[in-house]
A and B are shown apart, each in its own frame.
Chain A
Amino acid sequence: MVQSVTWKIGGEAGFGIMSSGTMLARAFSRAGYHIFATNEYPSLIRGGHNLVTVRIATEKFEAMNRDVHILVALNKETIDLHKTEVSEGGLVIFDPKDGEWKENDFPKKIILLAVPLKDLVQQLHGEPVMRNTVALGATVALIGADFEMLASVIRDQFRKKGDEVVNQNMRIAKAGYDYIKKTFGNETSMYLGKVQKKEDQLVINASEAVGIGAVRAGLKFAAIYPMTPINALITYLADHAKQFGIVYKQPEDEIAGINMAIGASVAGVRSMVATSGGGFALMVEGLSLAGMIEVPLVIDLGMRVGPATGMPTWTEQGELLFAIYAGHGEFPRIVLAPADAAEAYSLTTHAFNLADQYQVPVFLLTDKYINESQWCVPVSQLNGAVVIDRGKLALGNLPALDGESSFPRYRNNTDVGVSPRSVPGVAGGRYFANSYEHDEAGHVTEDATKRAAMVAKRLKKLHAIQHIAQQPAVFGDPDAQLTFVSWGSSRGPILEAMKLLGKKGGKARLIHYSWLYPFPSEETLKLLSPATRLIDVEQNATGQLATLIRQHTGILIKEKLLKYDGRPWYPEEIVEKVI
């Protein structure tokens, strides 16, 4: 009996690898297990090596582990590329038609399970692509779970395609399940411990979590040009546009996208854009416009490997400083970075309120790893009440204006620099949203005093935001000498690494940033100053958070764990580098 199983399936792109991972994850999530699924694939539609890894455990965990317990090879390449990852006692499912392997072809002692994937599919008159379904049935048997767990997911997955498709997939999955039971009996050691289901759990990626957060926060308009890794957000919004009464518009480019979103926001609705680094590079001019005309806007920047086209389907945290400094001229903004899907949801709902309350652009700094991994989130984390605060938005009842006057949209008499705003069509609210420097009504001005006052007004918001900003979170032993520092998606692997260190008697703590800008300097000084060993862990080559910390506090973090090969951290790697 084991408490955690890591399952990896590999094959050619177009062979249903991705959906197999989601189905397996969902089957066990429904039964109350904690799951996590990651994918790896090249930037191709067909061909190339595709991989999905699913970890299933009886207890909650924070990241993928490095050891693979069950490897399912849908082609020869999967074994060639991943045989070193299979742990001691691991199981390898392969089709003898793909090649012949012996157990001593593997570096560790493993068990080879020859399953005639192709023949089983053929006998049941299925398509060759359905080998993955045989493998799913086989996997469920190996883990010692009921076939019904998988059956319910198959029914839901194929329901729209009709009973015939459902039944065909069911028969093929059952064939894989039965083959294992009959041929290998109980000789495997991969039976997973039982769990008591507490509540329904979602299997969801961070792009979908952003979509749900946005819709619950009252999103009405999104203009998003397709780009990996935020495409799942487009699918979600476009699929549900009618149901939710929102408009998703595919713009001609990211420049149009951000300008459309700005237009919709000026007109009074909550709006957002999403993109990756290259698309955001095109949006930078528009970002500066949003800053100047003080329009609320939410930007989901899904980071991937750069520069330029880089490695489009791999992960990186390379755009922290880009998001903070992007734009010509100086203006306030807020930068938030979720660590997983649950936080992507909660920060999204905050982001829309912050954008309205401070009339600034708000970034959600996500990445490929969280946007395309499947996370297991208890329903209760996403179904609580969402407070909607539109800030100083005036949708009516404004006093009439005399002939030549207009609404003082940029009135500069508040402590926080935020002025009431009206929206086009509201009587008595007409004003100029002006990209030129402007006076309180929006009229252009080049007067020295007025210009300086307007700059100060806009930047006052930064101080106000600093007061309400979420402070960095502290995990682990608060008195530990060893202190990790991280932001965004690095959190999970570090938390898992701390568990591993704990088992070896090591004490560690993590200072983690979800709110990165305005930067919480004072709290950072307080938290980091006493540490004797500080380690910055990031998925980039230059240590951008460490740079930010140095800039705002003077604290120099000398020890950095930086990974920039496009792959997420494994907890084991972190432990090896620390000890």
Chain B
Amino acid sequence: MVPGRNCGKSDMSSITADSFKTGFLPTWCPGCGDFGIWMALKQALAQLGIGPDDAAIVYGIGCHGNMYDWMNTYAVEGLHGRALPVAQGVKLANHKLPVIVVSGDGDCLGEGGNHFIHAAKRNPDITVIIHDNQVYGLTTGQASPTAQQGFKTKSTPEGVTDEPVNPLTLAITAGATFVARGFAADSPGLTQLFVDAISHKGFAVVDTLQPCVTFDRVHTYAWYRERLYQLKQEGYRADNRLGALEKALEWGDRIPLGIFYQETRLTSEDREPALTGEPLVSASAGTVQADELLKEFI
């Protein structure tokens, strides 16, 4: 039998951020927002008692995706944009296994946009962390789908002309049941958001703002710090979908952080009649009798 979420979980006290070391060191640029996201994810897993053998992380392709090399868990590093379908397949095969997607704004909202919408609509019990820095770093600085209008990049020398994709409004309208925004440099806040997202039963999206220190001279740590504020400090309640949309549209002088929306709804796995008991991976193969199968064709 393959252990899942409710069995074989590592002893909580023994898991720390250091449990996920691989012996490889990050290759991200010094000061990259990815460091903060990586640290917060390790802290969150440790707090939840999820050890290296206990979960699967599915990564997209981009700077964010290189995290797998210095993050010791079961992992799939798939294709650009396709992390969510892979993750859903893993989850349906073992619905007791915690499944986390580490993706980027280009990966999740550009190449994988259709998958994002449909994952949200199905509400699988998966957490997706979007590294949102408005640029394609691995290909040296082109505009990403979340790039704000006017932002000059290698592919938009006159400034971005299109409307940016808003990951939060998209997630809320498509049916995600946990929608939050974090900031890569807010380590305790981001760790707590990841803990909440992974603990949430359903499709949890954490759009994580992260400055790209190499290809973005505009949206710096200072730029964000001047604008960011915590929703919870203003008495915001995350239980209203329309209210959440209104907050999610706020961008400019003030940019909110925290949980925008959360609801309880049946997950994709809850709706599968075959997944009421043990995970598929634990079920024995080929148990159906031949005669039972064939009689309808005679």
What is the interface of chain A, defined by CB distance below 8 A to chain B?
A: 29-30, 200-204, 208, 212, 215-218, 220-221, 223, 241-247, 249, 251-253, 255-257, 259-271, 285-286, 289, 293, 379, 382-384, 386, 388, 390, 395-396, 401, 403-406, 423-436, 442-444
Contact = CB atoms under 8 A, between A and B. Distances in A.
Contact of B297 (A208, A221, A405, A430): A208
A201 B298 contact: yes
Contact of B2 (A265, A396, A403, A436): A396
Given A245-B283, A427-B53, A396 B1 contact: yes
Contact of A259 (B18, B89, B96): B89
Contact of A444 (B1, B69, B76, B93): B69
Given A202-B297, A404-B72, A424-B74, 18 more contacts: A200-B298, A212-B293, A217-B285, A221-B92, A253-B114, A256-B115, A263-B58, A264-B89, A269-B93, A270-B285, A388-B286, A390-B285, A403-B19, A404-B22, A425-B4, A427-B8, A433-B77, A436-B77
Max count, chain A CB within 10 A of own CB: residue among B86, B88, B118, B272: B86
Given A268-B281, A425-B2, A426-B53, A260 B85 contact: yes
Contacts of B56: 266-267, 424-425
A425 B97 contact: yes
A204 B86 contact: no
B281 A269 contact: yes
B273 A241 contact: yes
Contact of A262 (B2, B23, B86, B114): B86
Given A247-B272, A404-B21, A216 B118 contact: no
Given A246-B274, A263-B93, A443 B69 contact: yes
B94 interface: yes
Nearest to B121: A252
Contact of B78 (A217, A262, A429): A262
Contact of B97 (A265, A267, A269, A286): A267
A247 B2 contact: no
Interface string B8-40: 100000000011011110000000000000000
B93 A271 contact: yes
B111 to A, nearest CB: 10
A430 B3 contact: no
Contacts of A216: 286, 288, 290, 293
Contacts of A436: 77
A256 B298 contact: no
Nearest to B281: A268
B290 A443 contact: no
Contacts of A286: 79, 82
Contacts of A200: 298
B95 to A, nearest CB: 9
Contacts of B66: 444
Contacts of B194: none
B255 interface: no
Max count, chain B CB within 10 A of own CB: residue among A246, A247, A266, A267: A267
A81 B67 CA distance: 65
B285 A266 contact: no
B55 interface: yes
Contacts of A427: 3, 8, 53
A215 B87 contact: no
Contact of A386 (B97, B286, B291): B286
B85 to A, nearest CB: 4
Max count, chain B CB within 10 A of own CB: residue among A218, A265, A383, A425: A425
A96 to B, nearest CB: 38
B54 interface: yes
6 closest cross-chain pairs (CB), A and B: A263-B89, A218-B285, A259-B85, A267-B93, A260-B89, A383-B290
Given A220-B280, A268-B281, A426-B2, A404 B90 contact: no
B222 interface: no
A382 B298 contact: no
Contacts of A404: 21-23, 72
A204 B23 CA distance: 56
Contacts of B283: 220, 245
B274 A215 contact: no
A248 B282 CA distance: 17
B62 interface: no
Contacts of A403: 18-19, 21
B73 interface: yes
A215 B53 CA distance: 30
B2 A423 contact: yes
Contacts of A266: 56, 76, 86, 89-90
B48 interface: no
Contacts of B76: 263, 266, 293, 432-434
A259 B297 contact: no
Max count, chain B CB within 10 A of own CB: residue among A259, A384, A405, A428: A259
B63 interface: no
B215 interface: no
B294 A223 contact: no
Contacts of B284: 218
A259 B297 CA distance: 32
Contacts of B178: none
18 contacts: A202-B297, A217-B285, A221-B93, A245-B274, A247-B93, A249-B92, A256-B115, A262-B78, A263-B86, A263-B92, A383-B294, A396-B2, A401-B53, A404-B21, A425-B281, A432-B77, A433-B75, A443-B22
B231 interface: no
B19 to A, nearest CB: 7
Contacts of B297: 202-204, 208
A286 B85 CA distance: 11
Nearest to B116: A252
B238 interface: no
Max count, chain B CB within 10 A of own CB: residue among A249, A263, A405, A424: A424
Contacts of B160: none
Contacts of B24: 443
A375 to B, nearest CB: 10
Contacts of A429: 53, 74
Interface in B88-133: 88-94, 96-97, 114-115, 117-118
B228 interface: no
B93 A268 contact: yes
Contacts of A246: 274, 280
Interface string B38-56: 0000000000000011111
Given A212-B293, A216-B293, A429-B74, A264 B93 contact: yes
B88 A267 contact: no
A351 to B, nearest CB: 14
B73 A249 contact: no
A403 B117 CA distance: 38
Nearest to A428: B53
Contacts of B87: 263
Interface in B234-267: none
Max count, chain B CB within 10 A of own CB: residue among A202, A265, A289, A430: A430
B79 A289 contact: yes
A425 B10 CA distance: 11
Contacts of B272: 241, 247
B275 interface: yes
Max count, chain A CB within 10 A of own CB: residue among B58, B61, B293: B293
A2 B286 CA distance: 43
A25 to B, nearest CB: 11
Contacts of A263: 58, 76, 85-93
A357 to B, nearest CB: 14
B288 A247 contact: no
B2 A268 contact: yes
Contacts of B114: 252-253, 256
